[in-house]
């Protein structure tokens, strides 16, 4: 008999499992705790289980330490101080710090049928191997009901069956006594509910053996994960979902008239009283299932189909709780072995027979009857393709019911007169004579007839072997497997028997079958273990980061919960949303800001912490090597505009880029004196509550211990290197962080910026002096001067922020406030003031109002050419005041023609152009005192000047490119604006236009702003317009398609989501229209609702943005 846990004193199955005694104990405890409430019950039961298993935990850890020591004495030291030396199938982990890999907790894998040998078990063992290699000191516990096999037998089978070698000392099997509770045969009635209840009993059995530090279910027992959260609220939970227990397709299949009413084993069974009862039962179960799914921390799904249904069922509750969305992680399949042993070549093509291979267990849902009918229909055509064709059915038989089903299928083949052309092969091995391997080698076509198969491992094996697939037009085979490669098909899809018959004909009649076989094999490469590991590790890193013991070991608070989170990770649901809100382009950083608020900080504290974090994770847009603007509304309603824009060095002069325009972009001459640190410190000095170091430390930790490369960052890295200059790998200073192993990091890889972390730590200790004086300043200046720059230590030391009075207008009774020049706030307010004279809520005038909005943009951008640094132009305040006067707006409306647009001189007689800026980031924070802050920071172009300081890791800006350069017209021949020429200590013009909206009674309503260069102005104005004029929520407003027209160039730019009729209407009015992708700008905002709660909205065009309230 197998040992129950591998310990000498616990070799009886019932020792810690759910025997009658422990069952009675549990029921007694539950009876008492029923009156105490769920929370108290969970805590009490958690305490009971933890105390009960404390001795066993100590024994297990001692046993594993002993086995590890024995292993090391026989095989040498396994561990190393560098994760790079621990090779996973995908290669060494990128960017992981040595401290990360020393996590030594217990990961519990809940897989009661671990010895089954199927595709689900391959996922389990691949996941464990990846976990062991990523965290060599972690202990992997497998909760299983396979009593008949010992640990050594299981590991041997894993090695021989899956070619996966696990590290024996750090894996242990705990044997469950109650697996029968989850068998379908135990629940002949109400199977869904019965098996789910059984999984609760089975999970209790597992936790009675040992509560883990992290609990992962790899079989689909969501109720077990809910019980874990109920009992141990601090234990992170993860699910790998192969298929949903119930789906919207299942619910629809009960109705014959629904789109899915003709599919599945329950098709059309919703009629009558019994059917109505079944509907109610299934809907009630679906509601419960969604409740359970919302408790899980990290959810992985095996296919697009599964992901879609899990999102439908679990998504609304998970979104409400700010939990991350379910991610798709394709499972590993035996692709490598098949490719090595089955060739797809002209020579192998000669061995192929006209065999149609269908591999699948003989269960009703596999729909063998459909395939037999289709094959009969195909053979009846008697085309050349039918000559010698045969159908090979290969599958396992589990019980008498399956045997009977095979017998019925044989009778059907006889009835359809295709008996001689159909072969049945039952329970064949994969390898060896007569095995599946042989059929994959000689067959020509791979068939799958199951409706809505959640994935389809057999279909992947078909493709890896070079078979041309004819599969059901649903589920995983349609969405993930038999898909196009380079715009060309890898197989055929069908639904009815006739469609399948046609698919067989087309596949067998292909003139060039080899070409499609090669595409199919290429498609299968997406399902290797290497690809699976790349996705598994980042998700496990989330769970490790969430583990409270690990957080305390790293001397952090909840601020580091998001350190390893992927693009869409959400925070744990707040208790309420009345304290404040944070919105930024990084969900991870927004979570840090939210935690600052929860810890007693205010909006200023949250702003500093969030902005510093954004500078770490989004160096393409922001960082302490740049500068920006912020608008602050104090708790007393008083506004301040804080200008921390970069300034030109003292040695700068008007003609410094004559003959060297590129110098304003890529050299040491390109950088203005950074203002970011002084700006943030200035905000904190005026409004902050928490200690400076406390609000800086989260960014230090993110930089030091790493963060996953997001989809947004990867996209911008590609954009910055589109011309072939991959400075991330070719420049050794960039490569230290972005290509530590010689290859640029990709999505999900962990990126650390340790030099930058040291710089931030210096700033945390010494304040702004740590940046503007001392070694950091010396290194930064030396790097710039080495690249032909003129900035001096004196320039840096003397930098000061500028506090200015903001500008404001009244718009439909609301007060709108923004920053004045040299920002673009007056331009955004001018647009709104002009369109205030039109009725924008009337949808019937949508085309006309879009034209009017476009014209308002053109007039306002014409005035922008007259803006500049008010420290150098005394008339600037008066000019902006005139721009925003109601009479000016009225005069412009009179000049707007409803029937046509005009040439450029109609709006701007001077024809001056202004340079665009691009690399910006926006953050909004608010709190319950009324303190509201909207801030834009920038390094100008993507990744600034592309100069990273070797010693400090600071990415320097190229803001000098925002000045106008004399004698250098733009591409349209227009001369630059003299008002924006370079002067020493001058600040260049900017498009930044943050806005704060107050109700007529003076209470704060909307705080908003954007990033995105010259498109900031129009994106902000339109978002405000949608909220105030069309009564949209903030998320609704941010989703709306946007238009942009800055007069020069004379182009009206529409996002793709704009409807064609609107665009054509403007074209008819004379506008030069064009389409662009959905990245005109990124808007962040927070709205305070009438009930005192906050609604945070983040840019939906950015995949990894986050707007959170607490």
- Verdict on whether the full-model pTM lies above 0.75: no
In a domain, 1053, yes or no: no
pLDDT of residue 972: 37
φ/ψ of residue 859, rounded to 5:
-65, -40
So which residues are the catalytic ones?
920
pLDDT, mean over the chain: 85
CA dihedral 542, 544, 548, 551 (to 10 degrees): -90
Lowest mean pLDDT segment, chosen from 160-164, 908-912, 1062-1066, 1098-1102: 908-912
Rg over CA atoms, the chain? 33
Do residue 399 and residue 271 come from a single domain?
no
Residue 994 has pLDDT above 80, yes or no: yes
The per-residue DSSP string of 888-947 comes to: HHHHHHHH--SS----GGGT-TT--B-----EEEEEEEEETTS-EEEEEEEEESTTTTS-
Do residue 313 and residue 357 come from a single domain?
no
Distance set, CA 277 to CA 260, 272, 274 (Å):
19, 9, 5
> Residue 964: pLDDT band by 50, 70, 90 thresholds?
confident
Both tokens assigned to 93:
């982990």
Do residue 206 and residue 347 come from a single domain?
no
Q: What is the 3-state secondary structure (H, E, C) of 623-689?
A: CCCCEEEEEEECCCCCEEEEEECCECCCCCCCCCCCCCCCHHHHCHHHCCECCHHHHHHHHHHHHCC
Both tokens assigned to 68:
């590890």
Q: Mutual orientation of helices 846-864 and 1060-1068 as an angle, nearest 10°? A: 60
Provide the domain count of the chain: 3
pLDDT in tens, 686-733: 999 988 988 999 999 999 999 999 988 998 898 888 777 889 999 999
Find out whether 188 and 79 touch, Cβ atoms under 8 Å.
Answer: no
Do residue 678 and residue 762 come from a single domain?
yes
> Residue 664: pLDDT band by 50, 70, 90 thresholds?
confident
pLDDT of residue 99: 40
pLDDT of residue 487: 87
Do residue 477 and residue 585 come from a single domain?
no
pLDDT in tens, 972-993: 344 577 888 999 999 998 889 9
Do residue 232 and residue 351 come from a single domain?
no
Average pLDDT over residues 531-537: 90
In a domain, 129, yes or no: yes
More confident residue, 971 or 390: 390
Do residue 86 and residue 31 come from a single domain?
yes
Find out whether 289 and 245 touch, Cβ atoms under 8 Å.
Answer: yes
- Domain assignment of residue 220, given as a range: 20-328
Domain CATH number, residue 374: 3.40.50.2000
Do residue 695 and residue 797 come from a single domain?
yes
* Cα distance between residue 389 and residue 208, in whole Å: 57
pLDDT in tens, 339-391: 989 999 999 999 999 999 999 888 888 899 999 999 999 999 999 999 999 99
In a domain, 946, yes or no: yes
Short-list 741, 731, 714, CA closest to 91: 741
pLDDT of residue 4: 34
Question: Residues comprising the binding site?
Answer: 645, 938-940, 962, 990-991, 1013
In a domain, 515, yes or no: yes
The per-residue DSSP string of 945-1009 comes to: TS-B-TTT-PBPP-GGGGSB-TT---TTSPPBPGGGB--TT---------EEEE-TTS-EEEEEE
Lowest mean pLDDT segment, chosen from 256-265, 400-409, 627-636: 256-265
pLDDT of residue 248: 67
pLDDT in tens, 117-141: 778 888 999 999 999 999 999 999 9
pLDDT in tens, 755-810: 999 999 999 999 999 999 999 999 999 999 999 999 999 999 999 999 999 999 99
Average pLDDT over residues 1031-1054: 91
In a domain, 773, yes or no: yes
Do residue 695 and residue 743 come from a single domain?
yes
Helix (H) or strand (E) holding 109: strand 106-110
Short-list 130, 133, 125, CA closest to 85: 133
Average pLDDT over residues 1029-1036: 92
pLDDT in tens, 924-953: 999 999 999 999 999 988 899 999 999 999
Do residue 323 and residue 349 come from a single domain?
no
Residue 843 has pLDDT above 70, yes or no: no
Residue 13 has pLDDT above 60, yes or no: no
Question: Residues comprising the binding site for L-glutamate?
Answer: 645, 938-940, 962, 990-991, 1013
Q: What's the CA angle centered on 455, arms 261 and 439, to 5 degrees? A: 110
pLDDT of residue 119: 81
- Domain edge (last residue) among 295, 328, 361: 328
pLDDT in tens, 382-392: 999 999 999 99
pLDDT of residue 961: 86
pLDDT of residue 750: 92
Do residue 250 and residue 181 come from a single domain?
yes
Residue 161 has pLDDT above 80, yes or no: no
Give the burial class of 5: count Cβ atoms within 10 A of its Cβ; 0-12 exposed, 13-18 middle, 19 or more buried: buried
Both tokens assigned to 8:
């000498």
pLDDT of residue 462: 94
Average pLDDT over residues 1026-1048: 92
Q: Which residue in the block uniquely carries the two structure tokens 């922008």?
A: 864
pLDDT in tens, 288-337: 888 999 999 999 998 888 888 898 889 888 888 878 889 999 999 888 88
pLDDT of residue 271: 56
* Cα distance between residue 421 and residue 622, in whole Å: 68
Both tokens assigned to 585:
């382009």
Do residue 669 and residue 692 come from a single domain?
yes
Find out whether 175 and 13 touch, Cβ atoms under 8 Å.
Answer: yes
Residue 32 has pLDDT above 60, yes or no: no
pLDDT in tens, 795-811: 999 999 999 999 999 99
* Cα distance between residue 196 and residue 445, in whole Å: 39
Helix (H) or strand (E) holding 440: helix 436-442
Lowest mean pLDDT segment, chosen from 145-159, 495-509, 902-916: 902-916
Residue 18 has pLDDT above 60, yes or no: no
In a domain, 931, yes or no: no
Lowest mean pLDDT segment, chosen from 59-73, 77-91, 585-599, 923-937: 77-91
- Domain edge (last residue) among 950, 980, 1010: 980
pLDDT in tens, 92-123: 333 344 345 678 899 999 999 998 877 888 89
pLDDT of residue 272: 62
> Residue 1055: pLDDT band by 50, 70, 90 thresholds?
confident
pLDDT in tens, 548-577: 544 334 333 333 333 333 323 333 333 336
Q: Which residue in the block uniquely carries the two structure tokens 């409400």?
A: 320
In a domain, 836, yes or no: no
Domain CATH number, residue 315: 3.40.50
Q: What percent of the chain has pLDDT over 70?
A: 86
More confident residue, 429 or 228: 228
- Domain edge (last residue) among 510, 526, 542: 526
Residue 36 has pLDDT above 70, yes or no: no
In a domain, 502, yes or no: yes
């Amino acid at each position: 008999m197998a040992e129950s846990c591998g310990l000498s004193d616990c070799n009886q199955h019932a020792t810690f499992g759910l025997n009658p005694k422990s069952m009675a104990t549990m029921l007694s405890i539950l009876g008492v705790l029923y009156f105490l409430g769920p929370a108290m019950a969970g805590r009490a039961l958690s305490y009971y289980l933890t105390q009960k298993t404390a001795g066993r935990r100590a024994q297990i850890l001692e046993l594993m330490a002993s086995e590890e020591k024995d292993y090391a004495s026989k095989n040498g030291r396994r561990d190393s101080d560098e994760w790079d030396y621990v090779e996973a199938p995908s290669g060494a982990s990128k960017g992981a710090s040595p401290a990360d890999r020393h996590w030594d907790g217990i990961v519990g894998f809940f897989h009661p049928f671990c010895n089954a040998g199927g595709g689900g078990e391959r996922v389990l063992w691949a996941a464990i191997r990846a976990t062991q290699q990523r965290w060599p000191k972690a202990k992997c516990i497998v909760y299983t009901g396979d009593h008949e096999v010992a640990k050594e037998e299981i590991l041997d089978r894993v090695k021989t069956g899956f070619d996966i070698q696990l590290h024996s000392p750090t894996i242990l099997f705990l044997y469950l006594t109650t697996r029968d509770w989850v068998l379908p045969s135990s629940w002949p009635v109400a199977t869904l509910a019965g098996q789910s209840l059984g999984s609760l009993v089975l999970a209790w059995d597992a936790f009675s053996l040992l509560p883990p530090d992290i609990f992962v279910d790899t079989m689909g027992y969501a109720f077990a994960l809910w019980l874990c959260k109920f009992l141990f609220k601090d234990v992170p939970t993860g699910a790998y979902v192969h298929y949903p227990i119930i789906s919207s397709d299942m619910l629809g299949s009960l109705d014959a008239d629904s789109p899915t009413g003709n599919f599945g084993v329950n098709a059309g069974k919703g009629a009558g009283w019994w059917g109505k009862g079944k509907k109610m039962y299934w809907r009630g179960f679906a509601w419960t299932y969604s409740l359970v799914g919302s408790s899980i921390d990290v959810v992985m799904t095996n296919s697009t189909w599964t992901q879609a249904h899990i999102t439908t069922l679990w998504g609304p509750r998970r979104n409400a709780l700010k939990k991350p969305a379910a991610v798709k992680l394709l499972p590993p399949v035996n692709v490598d072995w098949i490719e090595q042993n089955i060739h797809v070549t002209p020579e192998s093509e000669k061995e192929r027979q006209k065999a149609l291979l269908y591999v699948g267990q003989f269960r009703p849902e596999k729909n063998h009857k459909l395939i037999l009918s289709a094959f009969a229909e195909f053979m009846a055509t008697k085309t050349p393709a039918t000559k010698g064709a045969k159908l090979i059915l290969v599958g396992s038989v589990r019980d008498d019911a399956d045997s009977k089903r095979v017998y019925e299928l044989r009778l059907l083949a006889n009835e359809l007169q295709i008996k001689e052309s159909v072969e049945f092969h039952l329970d064949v091995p994969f390898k060896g004579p007569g095995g599946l391997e042989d059929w994959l080698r000689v067959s020509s076509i791979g068939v799958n007839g199951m409706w809505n198969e959640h994935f389809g491992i057999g279909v992947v094996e078909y493709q890896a072997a070079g078979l041309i697939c004819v599969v059901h037009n649903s589920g995983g085979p349609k969405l993930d497997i038999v898909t196009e490669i380079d715009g060309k098909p890898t197989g055929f899809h069908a639904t009815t028997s006739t469609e399948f018959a046609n698919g067989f004909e087309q596949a067998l009649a292909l003139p060039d079958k080899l070409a499609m076989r090669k595409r199919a094999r290429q498609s299968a490469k997406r399902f290797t273990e290497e690809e699976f590991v790349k996705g598994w590790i980042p998700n496990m890193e989330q769970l490790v980061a969430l583990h409270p013991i690990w957080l305390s070991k790293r001397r952090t608070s909840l601020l580091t919960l998001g350190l390893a989170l992927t693009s869409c990770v959400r925070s744990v649901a707040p208790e309420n949303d009345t304290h404040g809100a944070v919105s930024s382009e990084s969900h991870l950083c927004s979570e840090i800001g939210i935690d600052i608020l929860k810890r007693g900080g205010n909006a200023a504290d949250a702003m500093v912490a969030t902005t510093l974090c954004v500078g770490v994770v989004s160096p393409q847009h922001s960082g302490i090597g740049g500068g920006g603007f912020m608008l602050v509304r104090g708790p007393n309603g008083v506004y301040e505009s804080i200008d921390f824009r970069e300034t030109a060095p003292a040695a700068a002069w008007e003609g410094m880029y004559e003959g060297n325009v590129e110098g304003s972009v890529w050299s040491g001459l390109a950088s203005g004196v950074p203002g970011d640190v002084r700006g943030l410190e200035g905000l904190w000095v005026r409004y902050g509550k928490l200690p400076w170091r406390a609000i800086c430390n989260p960014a230090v930790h993110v930089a030091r211990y790493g963060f996953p490369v997001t989809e947004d960052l990867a996209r911008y890295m590609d954009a910055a290197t589109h011309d072939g200059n991959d400075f991330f790998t070719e420049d050794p200073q960039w490569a230290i962080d972005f290509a530590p192993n010689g290859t640029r990091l990709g999505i999900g890889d962990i990126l650390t910026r340790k030099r930058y972390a040291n710089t931030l730590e210096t700033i945390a200790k010494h304040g702004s002096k740590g940046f503007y004086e001392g070694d950091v300043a010396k290194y930064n200046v030396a790097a710039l001067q080495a690249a032909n720059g003129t900035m001096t230590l004196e320039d840096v030391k003397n930098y000061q922020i500028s506090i200015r009075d903001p500008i404001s207008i009244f718009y439909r009774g609301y007060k709108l406030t923004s920053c004045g020049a040299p920002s673009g706030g007056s331009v955004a307010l001018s647009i709104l003031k002009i369109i205030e004279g039109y009725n924008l809520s009337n949808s019937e005038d949508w085309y006309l109002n879009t034209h009017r909005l476009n014209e308002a943009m053109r007039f306002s951008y014409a005035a922008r050419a007259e803006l500049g640094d008010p420290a150098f132009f005394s008339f600037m305040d008066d000019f902006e005041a005139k721009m925003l006067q109601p009479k000016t707006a009225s005069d412009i409306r009179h000049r707007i023609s409803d029937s046509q647009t005009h040439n450029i001189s109609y709006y701007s007689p001077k024809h001056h152009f202004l340079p665009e800026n691009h690399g910006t980031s926006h953050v909004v924070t608010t709190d319950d005192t009324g303190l509201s802050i909207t801030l834009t920071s920038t390094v100008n172009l993507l990744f600034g000047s592309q100069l990273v300081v070797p010693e400090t890791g600071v990415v320097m800006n190229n803001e000098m490119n925002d000045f106008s350069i004399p004698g250098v017209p733009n591409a349209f021949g227009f001369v630059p604006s003299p008002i924006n020429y370079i002067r020493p200590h001058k600040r260049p013009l900017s498009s930044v236009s943050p806005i704060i909206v107050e109700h007529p009674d003076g209470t704060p309503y909307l705080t908003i702003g954007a990033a995105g260069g010259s498109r900031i102005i129009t994106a902000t104005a339109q978002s405000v317009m949608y909220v105030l004029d069309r009564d949209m929520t903030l998320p609704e407003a941010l989703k709306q398609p946007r238009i942009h027209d800055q007069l020069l160039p004379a182009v009206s730019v529409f996002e793709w989501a704009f409807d064609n009729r609107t665009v054509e209407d403007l074209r008819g009015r004379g506008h030069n229209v064009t389409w662009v992708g959905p990245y005109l700008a990124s808007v962040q905002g927070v709205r305070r609702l009438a009930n005192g709660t906050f609604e945070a909205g983040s840019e939906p065009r950015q995949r990894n943005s986050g707007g959170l309230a607490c």
